[in-house]
Structure 1
């Protein structure tokens, strides 16, 4: 199931929903729903100008409406609010004997020191170095990643490629679905309602706030991760990739580039 929002290069807002449920922003607002544009979370996928983006009743995308998911972040919580909630939940689970502080510390250490974005960067470097692997990765990411010496669990992964004319960025408008096993711990900003709603409606503005100002002839596609499918961006291949080893290329790949809010720049 694909759920993407495409913003054409002229940055005016409209919707064109084709077979992949892509959302295109052309020069005027129109709707064209293809055969496969149904996207169901709880009941049905619909698109209405005045509807908020909801996964409790129907999935809708509005140009001027906030993207909310009922109780899942109806207020614009700050990073400090999210951290406080996580600490409170951790304390409660430790107090009830469900988990131990040592177990929490070990999981954090694992993701920070051993996983981080390192696994994802190895996948990207391999794709830049091996065209056949890149083709397999874009066709069936789970099968391609299985060639490595690490596991990504049961999640359904899809990799989308940045090119000279298309830039992809990933969000989870529902909560914070994210390919942990490849990118490590999700950044705090990824989980905020502000990012989750604004990047769908005004991706260029959000990317600019990250320091990424895209050329006017580059289309932006926003991919909505969910519990059913997780997206990862394959950054555009650097010009000097042929002169670098996979290890050298992997060192240049960042977590933010694999989310799509950054680029891997040429040296």
Structure 2
């Protein structure tokens, strides 16, 4: 409690001095959100030591139906590391009523390759989900839906930033997407670029975020080559840490008992 009180005092002092007017509110929200994650999901983070205490880092994560795991990770990183994870979010968030101040406070932007390189070049931590809303709405059983996208690899190469793959166990069991009729949802998404498939859930399943070993860009490596290594790294995290197919009941039981994993 003494550490939290001291951190809160320092951050509020920083807010009052206008170095970062959002710092105090962001820290208080993080405390509430971190408590929510712990109580409702028994939220844990493994591999947080892979996040640097200073300097640049690019997080590449699998996108759940609702990315509450990234909210929890942002909160935990603010509390434990004292660092903000800058996030790339879909443009439709800018149209959601009441989200303007949240996006500004937590520096969530649509992002371009050049703006993301700039953020990393200023020694920040940046998170990107290459699958985005498409993956959130249409991923089946933790399938990566990245297509031929390489923008995230161009960002890492342009900023010469280490890449940390991120995956959260049971994130698709916490919230599910109504898949039927999928053709209709796909058609609406392609036309409107807005997530139209209904989402249900909020189940108090066990959530555990895994941060993998950093992937370092190689000299002369092409965006396609780096993208392939990143995708393999994240797919490996999913393969090693997620029981497939995902089951809500099993994920709920994970709060009190974790069955031995079979090879």
TM-score of the aligned structures, taking structure 2 as reference length: 0.24
Between Structure 1 and Structure 2, the one with more helix by share is 2
Q: Which structure ranks higher in relative contact order (CA pairs < 8 Å, sequence separation ≥ 6)? A: 2
TM-score of the aligned structures, taking structure 1 as reference length: 0.24
